[in-house]
Structure 1
Amino acid sequence: MRLVAQGRVQAVSVMAAAPAWARDAAMLREAASGRADVGLHLDLTAFPVQPALRRPLPHWIAATALRAVDGRAIEREIQEQLWRFEQAWGGPPDHVDGHQHVHQLPVVRERLVAVLQQRYAGRLPWLRSTRQPRVPGAGLAAFKPWVIEQLGAAALARMARRQGFAQNGRLLGVYGFDGDAASYLQRLAGWLRLAQPRDLLMCHPALAQVPGDAIAKARMAEYQALSSPAVPALLQAAGVRLRRLATA
């Protein structure tokens, strides 16, 4: 919320079944009004409404690839998370993406698109694409972004085009959650140099560590970097202007 107020973040994704959402929605509404898109971070691995669906990402990758999942249970989960978002937010989401990118997996993406068409015909949210930029000579640094894209970016993009959903152009900001604030600023400069219109730069900032969070140190380093007075100069050098995707 501080980064939204600072003009550094233009979209916020929320886990609607996580404990903090109902408590903090009003605070986010005040911070984000007119400044940022707010959407659903579809979650099957951390805080799903149905406890039986809570499984680690490798399970979902394998099970959905084999289509060995209960599509009706996934659809109920999507409906319930959207309902919880609406109840706390007072309206529909500006966008939908996924925790660990589960929104693009087989079965999940089909059910998600169908539910969104049913609930929001005439005002469809934009969907996050995980399509990655092609960086010559990136080597091993390109492997994680490539894997994320291969999990379903192309299939989701085809569905989005057919059904009238907008998407971001490409997804920047993927890295191994290593390094400090200075190294994140270096990465940020590189991502900004790669940026094209409608690209989305994913980030995970936090002010403090939460017990059990595997990337807590990286979150704090990201916040330190993103709130840095060095950011305006990086934007200017790259010729980048930050905007809400819903209004772009």
Structure 2
Amino acid sequence: MTPGIDAGMLQLAAMGRLSAVSCLALGPAFAADAPALAGIDADLGVHLNLTEAFDAAGRTAVMPLPALIARAYTGRLDGAWIDTQLARQFDAFERTLGRAPDYVDGHQHVHQLPGVLPRLLDFLRRRYGPQRPWLRHTAPGILDGIPLRDAAKAHLIGALGAAALRRAAHRDGWRTNRRMLGVYGLDGGVRRYAALLHHWLYHALDGDLIMCHPGLPSSGDRLAGQRAAEYSVLASPLIGEWMRFNGVRIARLSRR
């Protein structure tokens, strides 16, 4: 999305603090910064984008999230439009990195929506055959001790498509993470994020995924301050102690 976000993720990956990096393959910084991903020990995924316009010319290719959800749940999404977006973004990922993605997720979790998920799964079958990437499953993990508004947001995200993705995984053998943690209001600074991360690490079970949104202080987007807070916490030497205390280790799902 921006060089500052990319730099933050690359530094954390080099420190062994990330198991995966989601790539906006048509984002303005991807082509320039993606070559640096070649040397990191992390899964690389396509972060399917149907809602974020990076410039005026791109606004015709996306739509606001509420409109996308409304059309998805009323069966009014244009299948040809989705197919075009899939082809453009996966082509850009492979053209830049020279390989297939390890996994697929969605910007604002659009990959799981009705009308999107079936076309995505069909696209992945045709493109990758038996070497299919894993998929991000958004059903919430254990949320004991998480503030109500953050827990509600986690349940809402899961309600928008986790059950359908789980059924597809069970029926057709798609690999997924077990559950997802890391959902919150993207505010509150370092202290609040550290407290939440303590809860997520304490409750994480084998195969769970903790989503994060780090970036350097100069990340240059509307979440720059909170991205910097996440980066500060995730880069702290204390993280290693927290993980050891909770019996947690960071691992690439593609190698499980």
Verify same fold: TM over 0.5.
Answer: yes
Q: Percent identity?
A: 43
**2:29 aligned counterpart, secondary structure:** helix
1:218 corresponds to 2:230:
no
Q: Which has the higher contact order (CA 8 A, sep 6+)?
A: 2
- Residue 129 of structure 1 deviates from its aligned partner by 0.3
Match of 1:61 in 2: 69
**Structure 2 residue aligned with 1:27, among 27, 33, 36?**
36
- Residue 134 of structure 1 deviates from its aligned partner by 4.0
Q: Structure 1, residues 40-60: CA drift from partner, whole Å, max 9, x if none?
A: 000011148964232111111
**Structure 2 residue aligned with 1:17, among 26, 38, 52?**
26
Distance 2:133 2:232 in 1: 30
Matches within 5 A, 1:169-180: 169-180=178-189
- Residue 21 of structure 1 deviates from its aligned partner by 1.2
The amino acid across from 2:45 in the alignment is G
**2:123 aligned counterpart, secondary structure:** helix
Distance 2:219 2:145 in 1: 36
- Residue 208 of structure 1 deviates from its aligned partner by 2.5
Match of 1:77 in 2: 85
1:157 corresponds to 2:166:
yes
**1:57 and 1:155, CA in 2 relative to 1: closer, same or farther beyond 3 A?**
same
**Structure 2 residue aligned with 1:39, among 45, 59, 63?**
45
TM-score for both structures, normalised by structure 1: 0.94
TM-score for both structures, normalised by structure 2: 0.91
**1:19 aligned counterpart, secondary structure:** coil
Distance 1:75 1:233 in 2: 45
- Residue 233 of structure 1 deviates from its aligned partner by 0.9
Matches within 5 A, 1:172-191: 172-191=181-200
Q: Any gaps of 5 or more consecutive residues in structure 2?
A: 1-9
- Structure 1 segments (4+ residues) deviating >6 Å: none
Distance 2:194 2:144 in 1: 21
Distance 2:84 2:245 in 1: 46
Q: Structure 1, residues 125-163: CA drift from partner, whole Å, max 9, x if none?
A: 000000102435653331100110011000011112222
Distance 1:121 1:229 in 2: 41
Distance 1:159 1:243 in 2: 24
Preserved contact between residue 208 and residue 220 of structure 1 (Cα < 8 Å): yes
